[in-house]
Structure 1
Amino acid sequence: MNTLLSSLSEGVIEDNEDVNAPVRPEDKAPPDRRLLFSSSSLPLLAVCWILLLLIMGLRIYFSSVISEQNVKLMKENKELKENFTKQITDLEDNWNELNISRAQWTIDSYCPADTSKVRRCSACQRGWDQTQKSCYVFHNSEAPPHPKTWEEARENCRGRGADLVVVHDEEEKNVIDGYIRDLYVSKGYWMGLRVEGGTWKWIDGTNLTDASWIEPPAEGHCAVSLPTRTWTSVKCDEKRTRICSQKALSV
């Protein structure tokens, strides 16, 4: 009996001690939040906050950089657009001026004015000879700088709105040979005929129709019309004068 009372007394004392003990914050918190207050969870929480702040900082930084780049790009695009617009305007102005000058040159060339300022128009430019439906001009000087390579001669003709002469039939050949006989140049005149792929070919893409007019083709050679009314084959980089040709106008 005494032993039972002693045990009960000890249990009451222990319960009283638990009741009178001070209440800790982690004891008041719900069971699932107590881990937040444990010393082992604090470093992990700090790392999470640091990572979150780092991510936010990087996001703000890159957003700022991208914004600056966008502003810079828009500015460059605006400048490029303004420069491009200015170039187009300048080209249009130059083109208009060129067209006006070319139109005036065409009028003066085809319709020259006489002493009384009356214009008389012709099918060919002033200084050009007309045969059938074509106009020809013969550059008949052998003194420098007039003689040119075949390529240079063609560029010179193109600068006049023409090209090297093309001869398609016997009648036209006789006309050209007749002019060359009267406008004597010992080394002859370049024509629009050269060797391409082992074949004599005119600059308009057609082949030479009569092989008897000139010797067999040799690569790197071009045709020259001589004052002896014959044609010969020479290297295209040699220097010769030229015959330019263009279509005659209908007047």
Structure 2
Amino acid sequence: MSRKPADEAEGVIEDNEYVNAPVRPEDKAPPDRRLLFSSPSLPLLAVCWILLLLIMGLRIYFSSVISEQNVKLIKENQELMKENQELMKENQELSTGKNSELKNVIQELKTENQELKENFTKQITDLEDNWEKFNVSRAQWTIDSYCPADTSKVRRCSACQRGWDQTQKSCYVFHNSEAPPHPKTWEEARENCRGRGADLVVVHDEEEKNVIDGYIRDLYVSKGYWMGLRVEGGTWKWIDGTNLTDASWIEPPAEGHCAVSLPTRTWTSVKCDEKRTRICSQKALSV
């Protein structure tokens, strides 16, 4: 079918407009690049580039930090090596120059140790000799105390020492002098009794109490005699570990107090650091 003149004219005009139209970058680019500019993956590509740049920047930063740390470590290592060399040098000096000094000190210590051994051995020997002499003297003292010799040098033995009084199975001595230095604290009085092979008197029953009271009435002292009774843990206790059986014999216990037997046949409680005379007792011998 043939075209009309009007249609042909419009076609010519459209061709001219297309030819004379400005050229866009998309039109100049090859077909594939035009496709790129118009592709929806452009933002993703930009993000990838940014991440790549960030990674490269971090790598450069950490490489710089690591390099700085390496330089610092190398310097510290050099200093340690220097110190190690100095220590090795000092050790060498000690093992050579001062070794002789150590040997001299060791030899001196050995000599002193030998002298100490010899002195210690001598002291032991002296103690053994003294102990033997002491035993002989003590045995002689015991014989003289329990079996005194009369004018004819005949010995008569008794159950108690000379100057001690016997009652049943016990021996007593009453230190009835109140002139210094005879009065003592409770502890001092007990030590004095022990030095004589005895101890402060212990009274367990009414009968023994009456015996002691009878002696005290005859051997009068104004402040009374120490006995082996004191307060321990809020309780009256005898020195043999037993408790006072009759609480009516003395006042209620007070810490730091000890018992005194008075010439009025009564007992009283006083502070243990006061000074009194004493009653010592010991078991009578079987003769």
The CA deviation string for residues 130-189 of structure 1, in whole angstroms up to 9 with x for no partner, is 011100000001111110000000000000000000001111000000000010111000
Q: Give yes or no for contact 1:226–1:232 (8 Å, CA) kept in 2.
A: yes
The runs of at least 4 aligned residues of structure 1 exceeding 3 Å deviation read 1-73
**Deviation larger for 162-171 or 52-61:** 52-61
Q: Give yes or no for contact 1:201–1:208 (8 Å, CA) kept in 2.
A: yes
CA shift, 1:57, in A, is 57
**Deviation larger for 161-170 or 12-21:** 12-21
Alpha-carbon spacing, 1:50–1:101, altered in 2? closer, same or farther (3 Å): farther
CA shift, 1:80, in A, is 1.9
Alpha-carbon spacing, 1:29–1:3, altered in 2? closer, same or farther (3 Å): closer
CA shift, 1:105, in A, is 0.5
Aligned match of 1:158: 194
CA shift, 1:82, in A, is 1.0
Structure 2 residue matching 1:13: 3-state secondary structure:
helix
Alpha-carbon spacing, 1:5–1:69, altered in 2? closer, same or farther (3 Å): same
Q: Using the alignment, how far apart are the partners of 1:69 and 1:89 within structure 2?
A: 74
The CA deviation string for residues 109-139 of structure 1, in whole angstroms up to 9 with x for no partner, is 0000001000000000000000111000000
- What is the percentage of aligned positions where both structures have the same residue? 94
Q: Using the alignment, how far apart are the partners of 2:113 and 2:243 within structure 1?
A: 52
Q: Using the alignment, how far apart are the partners of 1:20 and 1:64 within structure 2?
A: 59
CA shift, 1:77, in A, is 2.7
Matches within 5 A, 1:201-240: 201-240=237-276
Alpha-carbon spacing, 1:92–1:72, altered in 2? closer, same or farther (3 Å): farther
Count of matched residue positions in the alignment of Structure 1 and Structure 2: 249
Q: Using the alignment, how far apart are the partners of 1:65 and 1:182 within structure 2?
A: 107
Q: Using the alignment, how far apart are the partners of 1:164 and 1:224 within structure 2?
A: 11
Alpha-carbon spacing, 1:234–1:50, altered in 2? closer, same or farther (3 Å): farther
Structure 1 unaligned runs (5+)?
Answer: none
Q: Using the alignment, how far apart are the partners of 1:207 and 1:102 within structure 2?
A: 34
CA shift, 1:35, in A, is 69
Alpha-carbon spacing, 1:229–1:89, altered in 2? closer, same or farther (3 Å): same
Structure 2 residue matching 1:3: 3-state secondary structure:
coil
Q: Give yes or no for contact 1:140–1:241 (8 Å, CA) kept in 2.
A: yes
CA shift, 1:84, in A, is 1.2
Q: Using the alignment, how far apart are the partners of 2:206 and 2:187 within structure 1?
A: 26
Q: Using the alignment, how far apart are the partners of 1:30 and 1:79 within structure 2?
A: 113
Alpha-carbon spacing, 1:113–1:54, altered in 2? closer, same or farther (3 Å): farther
Q: Using the alignment, how far apart are the partners of 1:112 and 1:35 within structure 2?
A: 144
Structure 2 unaligned runs (5+)?
Answer: 74-111
Q: Give yes or no for contact 1:35–1:41 (8 Å, CA) kept in 2.
A: no
Q: Using the alignment, how far apart are the partners of 1:66 and 1:77 within structure 2?
A: 62
The CA deviation string for residues 41-92 of structure 1, in whole angstroms up to 9 with x for no partner, is 999999999999999999999999999999999xx33222211111100100
Alpha-carbon spacing, 1:12–1:63, altered in 2? closer, same or farther (3 Å): same
Structure 1 residue matching 2:162: 3-state secondary structure:
coil
- If the length of structure 2 is used for normalisation, what is the TM-score? 0.61
Alpha-carbon spacing, 1:134–1:29, altered in 2? closer, same or farther (3 Å): farther
CA shift, 1:236, in A, is 0.4
Alpha-carbon spacing, 1:92–1:41, altered in 2? closer, same or farther (3 Å): farther
Q: Using the alignment, how far apart are the partners of 2:120 and 2:7 within structure 1?
A: 104
| More RCO (CA 8 Å, sep 6+) | 1
Q: Which has the larger radius of gyration?
A: 2
Q: Using the alignment, how far apart are the partners of 2:122 and 2:169 within structure 1?
A: 44
Structure 1 residue matching 2:131: 3-state secondary structure:
helix
Q: Using the alignment, how far apart are the partners of 2:115 and 2:68 within structure 1?
A: 17
Alpha-carbon spacing, 1:193–1:81, altered in 2? closer, same or farther (3 Å): same
Q: Using the alignment, how far apart are the partners of 2:31 and 2:116 within structure 1?
A: 67
Structure 1 residue 84 and structure 2 residue 97: aligned? no
Residue 117 of structure 1 is aligned with which of 153, 177, 188? 153
